Amino acid sequence: MTDIIETNLPTSAAVSPGSRVVPRRKRLTGFHDLPFDELKERLVEMGAPAYRAQQMFDWAYGKLVTSYDEMTNVPAPIREGFGETTPLQTMKLVRELVTDNGDTYKLLYQTFDGQLVETVLMLYPDRATVCVSCQVGCAVECAFCATGLGGLTRNLTAGEIVQQTVDATRRARQLDRQLTNLVMMGMGEPLQNYAETMKFINIIHDPRGLNFGARRITISTSGIIPRIDALADEPYQVNLAVSLHAPNDELRSRLVPINGRYPVEDLLAACDRFTQKTGRRISFEYALMNGINNSDEIARELGQLLRGRLCHVNVIPFNPVDVLKFERPNAEMIERFAEIVREYGIPTTVRYSRGVEIAAACGQLRARHQQMEKAAS
């Protein structure tokens, strides 16, 4: 079994896990919450020249500094002013788990109001991918996901999502790697935090900053149809992944309760509209659970449902969670399911979850950390 390197890092003394959620109007605005033009406006309001915005973006997104003190060509009054009102980082890293071969890093952050958020950095031979969270908890409550067990606490701000990306970029560089891909497949439903998700993409996509290409970004959704339609009209050429997990309403409603509001037929119609408008292929995510959704009959039904569509199926063998009853099929069952779907002309990949031994599945590390904190109190 792969050994685990575990690092416990200091938390902010001002908050503790489970602190009361701060109302939206009182939430902390950090540097990473500011698009370039907003940063310029703030600087001008301070009486500083607008060109300082590019200098600060260079430090924050080019050199990936972690404090204003490192922005040496920015005058001290500006650095001090931003330090007092707009912290460069609003989250603290409180726990880190790393597999001994160094291919998967699981990071647990504490937000300024004491909430816990997860990020995963996955290193492959040909790419480095970060999986970011967009909410504390989740309201969708998929039956097989640890994130939704406690419901939704709050949305993350754009800056909190940006910080996850910046930190992953920095860590990749420290490992002599370049962050190549980003997936919004962590905690939360991105299309239920739509405004902040779009603001986040705007900030990291800006060529004056991180310059992270939209085509390297994948947004995953459980199927929020109005937002799928809205996303098709956005200027960013992001990829869309839809968490399908079942080919019919009866089964999908048991696994993904939001299916009661957005049933399979309507969801696929929205996916067709997205493809027609954007010309981009959709990935359908399919968490494979033994005895639940992995029979030959269900595989054929899935193949018939998706045949002829511009799509790809990611078969994801279930990542075991202590508190959930589902089990992963064996390797033979997994490959048989994928092969049946392929027979319908649908590109199908089996994608095993990374970092199973370090609780890398969504919500697992957060839940484990909360249990530890509770036991210690």
- Residues with catalytic annotation? 118, 362
Structure tokens at 46: 């301070």
Q: Which strands form 348-350's sheet, in the order they lie side by side?
A: 4-8, 92-99, 104-110, 116-123, 128-131, 181-184, 217-221, 239-243, 282-288, 311-317, 348-350
Neighbours of 371 (CB within 10 A): 12
Q: Nearest 5 degrees, angle CA 258-CA 261-CA 267?
A: 85
Alpha helix segments (H runs only) across 18-157:
36-45, 52-57, 76-85
Tell me phi and psi for residue 30, to 5 degrees: -105, 175
Output b/e per residue, 203-229; b: 16+ Cβ within 10 A.
bbbbeebbebbbebbbbbbbbbbebbe
The H or E element containing residue 339 is: helix 331-342
Structure tokens at 63: 């050199």
Which residues, in sequence order, are CB contacts of 289 under 8 Å at separation 6+?
144, 318, 326, 327, 328, 329
- DSSP three-state, residue 62: helix
Q: What DSSP string describes 227-238?
A: HHHHHHTSSS--
What is the amino acid identity at position 66?
T
